[in-house]
Amino acid sequence: MIDFEMSTQIENARQMIHMMAEQTMRPIAREYDEREHADPTEWHEMMWSVAKGSEVTFGGKSEKKDKGPSERFLTSAVTIEELSWGDAGLYLSIPNPGLGGAAVAAAGTPEQRKRFLARFQEGKPKWAAMAITEPGCGSDPSLVRTTATRDGDQWVLNGEKIFVTTGCRADGVVVWATIDRAAGRAGIKSFLVLKGTPGFIVAHKEKKLGIRADDTAAYVFQDCRIPRDHLLGGDEDIPTESSGGFRGVMKTFNMTRPMVAAIGLGMAEAALDFTRDALRAAGVEVHYGPSLQGQPAAAERFIRLEALFEAARLATLRASWLADQGQTNNLEASIAKAKAGAAVRAITQGCIEILGPMAVSRDHLLEKWFRDVRITDIYEGTGEIQRLIIARTLLGYSRNELK
């Protein structure tokens, strides 16, 4: 018999985090949406103290030594969903090693994981980021043009990066650069660059449609010199998969894409909760039974949106569960990301259409969730790219055969 129930530990954690999100995030969500580049300092300090007192999930290979599957990624997905129900922008701004830490955990040597990840767990609140996208390189990271050139015991980086999540606050960033443009994807490596390194310039902050509580930055690297051992995975002469190469770091996304899906699901759930309460206040009751016939049109539409949410959520939980089992989840991670990215847009828009004028009023957060969810289908691989990955996997095509 298939059991879809969460474990007692996860359910208890979910309830606790939901309460915290309701009490600490919702009250300040509108304020930091309006004050886009302001720092919610008290929120950051509170979450930093919480993070330092618990096991941090980096999204890479688990350092856990005990035998048997864990619930690490499943717990993370549920946690992220609840925090994003509170506010996705504030969740994304929580001090943590982030996607940069996930890359270090996935592609770094044991010594690099120990040295670099410890840096982002000590002292004052810290963040880490990953810089992939460039002005001429978005959905296809193999087109990276930022260069890294060896000069003795240093690497010299030159190029531009845009749309770096948490890029202004980040104390360090994993930068994708090519050591050999002619080699294409095989020439791409990942380098850890610490804030304050000469030649590392934060060019500007982006003004965005949504997730405004978290910053997004553009970088410029001008003869930026970093130590040779900041190449993830070790020396460049080691095979690509072992030295911070394209394949090695792309594995990061198999773990983080379900978490991005969970961010969107949290916002979609918030929109459904608000709409359900608004319908009830207007005297429209949603009845669950064997048929949609006889329901008011608004209630019927709402049930269909709920079904869309549940389908996306189950796909996300499955991808997370597979990661906990130590099983390959590249297909399921892309399915979760693609399904959730489309579903959360449809759900928030559907809720606005059901409620009408009140839904777009800034007196409520629904219009904010509608803006915030747009990012779910964009970052860490657009929905179109996820569908290409799914098609290649199912049909057995290579990247060159289907693009």
| Residue 92: count of CB within 10 angstroms of its CB | 23
Largest CA distance in the chain: 76
Give me the amino acid identity at 210: G
User: Residue type at 174?
Assistant: V
22 catalytic, yes or no?
Answer: no
User: What distance in Å separates the CA atoms of residue 131 and residue 185, rounded to the nearest whole number?
Assistant: 16
220 and 160 in contact (C-beta within 8 Å)?
yes
- Which of 71, 367, 380, 384 is the catalytic position? 380
Report residue 88: phi and psi, to 5°. Answer: -70, -40
Q: What gap in Å lies between CA 384 and CA 373, rounded to an integer?
A: 16
Q: How far is CA 269 from CA 113, 275, 295, in A?
A: 35, 10, 22
**Beta strands 200-205 and 216-227, pairing class:** antiparallel
Pairing of strands 147-151, 200-205: unpaired
Residues that are catalytic: 380
